[in-house]
Chains A and B, each alone.
Chain A
Amino acid sequence: MSRLSVLDLWKGYAGAPVLEGVDLEVPAGSLTAVLGLSGCGKTTLLRVIAGFERAERGSVSLGGRTLDDGRIYLAPEQRSVGYVPQEGALFPHLSVRENVGFGLPRRERRGEQVTALLEMVGIAPLARRLPHELSGGEQQRVALARALARRPQALLLDEPFSSLDASLRSHVREEVHALLRAQGVTTVLVTHDQEEALSLADTVAVLREGRIIQRGEPAELYEQPADERLARFLGAVNVLDARFERGTALTTLGTLQLHDDQAAGEAAGVVMVRPEQLDVRVCDNGGRDERPAGLEGRVEECRYYGHDALLQIRPEQAGDGELLLARVHGEQALAVGTRVTVAAHGRATRLR
């Protein structure tokens, strides 16, 4: 079990900077997802940690051992860092078994250990096949077994599931997740899929324009993103104008509690409320004299996903602001035109 530390890492290609001072701490035995759009430097970060590229500035260390700091530079084979590239990169001239055994000493290549690995990732029956005879998911598993065979101190996964079909992806993802948990290996996974990052990782670090702009547990990131752009990247949002008073935000949806550390600052600004935080109730015009709590509006569009539905609601009174997004259970999907009242629960997140 080793802690992986990346400190103030700089790297560029042909004069164009790619990584501009990346700091990343991965606690021993945990899984950190590095989330970012394509071209943000995710793969470059992994390649520097693996030793395929040298850092220009900064340092990489693993379990207290310096891998690269400008003066010391360990070759990839001396690092004990496993790497699973996006496309698998299996050796096409070697069978599945020979691929998995590649990194082992000659004597152990035919031994029980390789068989155990093949069984662990569920591809034992395919041991004699060549890579081109495997499906995408099978290739990924072989690549994973091959990287784990040498018991690396850290494992790097470069978009390991993006080449798989949607139906296969979640399945393989869960298997790999369980496997990594069981192995307890310090893991960095890079991805552009926020759902993948949030559901798999202990910690998510967001990489944008060569820097880590936020790092935290998945829920923390989702609920309190650093800025509006990240908030929208992680999921649908309602962004509301607000006035702030004593730790609360006054919005069209009423008075909402702010997160504890966000009370200070100017008197007016913008807050974010996730669609899941909105409670939607159908207005009952049955003559009952009960005044419905919350903002009144009309359903303008309903996108139905099966397990849930996303409603776009137009507030009825002029000046009540823009469309509101509300996520409701699938069975609560409403017809367009339905009159509803909307209220919010939970805390609002101040964006500026």
Chain B
Amino acid sequence: MSTLAPSTPIAGRFTRAWSGRRRWPLVSVAGGVIAAALVLLPLWFLVVEAQQSGWSEVRHLLERHSVAVLLWNTIRLTLACTALCAVLGVAAAWCVERTALPARRLWAVALVLPLGVPDFVVGFGWVSIDPALHGYLAAVMIMTLALYPLVYLPVASSLANLDAGLEEAARSLGLGPWRAFWRVTLRQIWPAVLGGCLLVTLALLAEYGAFEIVQYRTFTVEIFTEFKLGFDTVAACVLSLVLVALSIAALAGELSLTGRGRSARSGPGAPRRAPRVALGRFLLPVLAGLGALSGLALGVPMGSLVYWMARGSSTTLPSASILSAAGHTALYSACAAVLSTALAVPVSALAIRHRNRVTVLIERLAYLPMALPGLVIALGLVSFSVRYAFSLYQSALELIVAYAILFLPLAVVGVRSAMGQASPRLEEMGRSLGARPAAVWRRVTLPLIAPGLGAAFALVFISAATELTATLLLHPTGVNTLATQFWAYTSEFSYGAAAPYAALMVAISAVPAYLLSRRMSTLGRAERSS
């Protein structure tokens, strides 16, 4: 794109479009600036909203909402859940990747699949069969079961690609198996563990639905309640800023911990796979443990969905409403996926082809929504539209833009890796073979990055289709999506009516979770055979 702005066959024009890779590619810059502005817009309006109330009012608000209690609730939950996810994720990944576990492939899929069940559906699954579940312990259990795959996945792939030579060297230097694992293997997979923990932390800070179901008050729940029920925008915005600060602290913490010591391999050739450890007398305990984990994480929510679907079929279901909800979900998600992917293209192009201080800043900003809960983005957009563009308030466009901002990091990840592999040398070759810039973009660049664009679209589509919090705030009046309709029924305890909506959302997001686990095992295979 960058250098490939459409141009006319006048030499002078070409000069401007092509000549300098130093010069600014206008189309990309415009796209990148729009993306950055969109990310900053909701944050900016939170600050505006909070600032207008004045400092004393802010302090008063923070006291009134007993921020200390909220902080304590949020932090003790985050610490416990993240630690549990880390332990479960690493243990499960080690068992699957490094031991002679029977039916490995099956376990690999079963352990990843909970990723495809939205957190609030997991909460629904548990609470609908045991209404007594509530409070801290329930929240910790449910969120751990919902989120541990975020640690499992990166750690398993890191273990699969780990060079056996390192462990063997440690053993030959006199370390026992446990100490070798502790001092060598764990150090190698540490970045993957930390990365997974960061994702868990950010997901916990952003979660609303599951905590509402188990009646556990975190920042996000309080903000939502304040805005939706108390109609207090200022309080919601002030609390949101505290939440953003927490997320950014988590991000900074992970960065500072990962920065030290990279795992690098010297020497050519593919790493060698370690032999799998025979389980021996640990076989039964390991099988029981993995069985319990996937049973609780996958079996209970699924079983509960099936149970309520079966019971719910007696109560008459207006099938038209589920079709219309599914249609709206698909429409909004597809639009958001297109917008997000379109914004990710110039951001990636700038970051890769025109790397400098400004473009790196744009790229970082595009990743910022990772630390912005959907609720925060929705609040910022509400504040903006109420002040400056009331016609946008609760319009489909606003919801789509919110999704596009929220999931921009996913789109950038997908597009960026593809763009990184599309060498600028190939574009130059296209030019020297007589193709105009626009033709090179169409015939060379686009086919090369198409898989990345497809992945970005799919990731954003699925995430948007199962998003609850921002959707509850922004969905157009009178229009329901799968998530909002599910939520409406759940709030009335009409579990039977809610179940089909949840099942449909699970069906949509189970596909990529399954593909992810498959992709990992084929990647492992390819690396071993090469």
Residue ranges of A at the interface with B (Cβ–Cβ < 8 Å): 50-52, 54, 72-79, 81-83, 85, 87, 89, 91-93, 102-103, 146-147, 149-150
- B-chain residues with CB within 8 Å of residue A78 when the two chains form the complex: 11, 14
Contact A79 B432 (CB under 8 A): yes
- Shortest C-beta distance, A105 to chain B (Å), equals 9
Per DSSP, chain A at the interface is loop
- Shortest C-beta distance, B442 to chain A (Å), equals 12
Tell me the complex Cα distance, A78–B15, Å. Answer: 12
24 contacts between A and B (CB under 8 A): A51-B432, A52-B431, A52-B432, A54-B19, A73-B11, A73-B14, A75-B14, A75-B431, A76-B428, A77-B432, A77-B434, A77-B436, A78-B11, A78-B14, A79-B432, A81-B432, A82-B432, A83-B428, A85-B425, A91-B444, A93-B447, A93-B448, A103-B433, A147-B433
Tell me the complex Cα distance, A52–B433, Å. Answer: 12
Contact B434 A89 (CB under 8 A): no
- Shortest C-beta distance, A292 to chain B (Å), equals 54
Say whether B283 faces chain A, with CB atoms less than 8 Å apart.
Answer: no
Q: A52-B428, A73-B19, A78-B11 are in contact. Are A89 and B423 (CB under 8 A)?
A: yes
- Shortest C-beta distance, B423 to chain A (Å), equals 7
Residue of B nearest to A86 (CB): B425
Contact B433 A51 (CB under 8 A): no
Taken residue by residue from 69 to 88, chain B's Cβ proximity to chain A (1 for < 8 Å, 0 otherwise) reads as 00000000000000000000
CB contact between B429 and one of A54, A72, A83, A150 (< 8 Å): that residue: A83
Tell me the complex Cα distance, A51–B423, Å. Answer: 17
Tell me the complex Cα distance, A93–B435, Å. Answer: 17
Residue of A nearest to B14 (CB): A75
Q: A51-B431, A77-B431 are in contact. Are A91 and B11 (CB under 8 A)?
A: no
Tell me the complex Cα distance, A103–B432, Å. Answer: 8
- B-chain residues with CB within 8 Å of residue A83 when the two chains form the complex: 428-429, 432
Tell me the complex Cα distance, A52–B18, Å. Answer: 9
CB contact between B15 and one of A50, A73, A82 (< 8 Å): that residue: A73
Contact B432 A92 (CB under 8 A): no
Say whether B268 faces chain A, with CB atoms less than 8 Å apart.
Answer: no
Q: A51-B431, A73-B11, A78-B14 are in contact. Are A89 and B426 (CB under 8 A)?
A: yes
Say whether B524 faces chain A, with CB atoms less than 8 Å apart.
Answer: no
- Shortest C-beta distance, A263 to chain B (Å), equals 49
Say whether B269 faces chain A, with CB atoms less than 8 Å apart.
Answer: no
Say whether B20 faces chain A, with CB atoms less than 8 Å apart.
Answer: yes
Say whether B272 faces chain A, with CB atoms less than 8 Å apart.
Answer: no
User: Nearest 7 pairs between A and B by C-beta?
Assistant: A103-B433, A76-B431, A75-B14, A76-B432, A93-B447, A103-B434, A83-B432
Tell me the complex Cα distance, A89–B444, Å. Answer: 12
Say whether B265 faces chain A, with CB atoms less than 8 Å apart.
Answer: no
Residue of A nearest to B16 (CB): A73
- B-chain residues with CB within 8 Å of residue A51 when the two chains form the complex: 431-432
Say whether B291 faces chain A, with CB atoms less than 8 Å apart.
Answer: no
Contact A146 B18 (CB under 8 A): no
Contact B426 A103 (CB under 8 A): no
Residues of chain B in range 1-58 having any CB-CB distance to chain A below 8 Å: 11, 14-15, 18-20
- Sample of 19 more A-B contacts, CB < 8 Å, known A91-B429, A93-B448: A51-B431, A52-B428, A73-B11, A74-B11, A75-B11, A75-B14, A75-B18, A77-B431, A77-B435, A77-B436, A81-B432, A82-B432, A87-B425, A89-B423, A91-B426, A102-B443, A103-B433, A147-B432, A149-B433
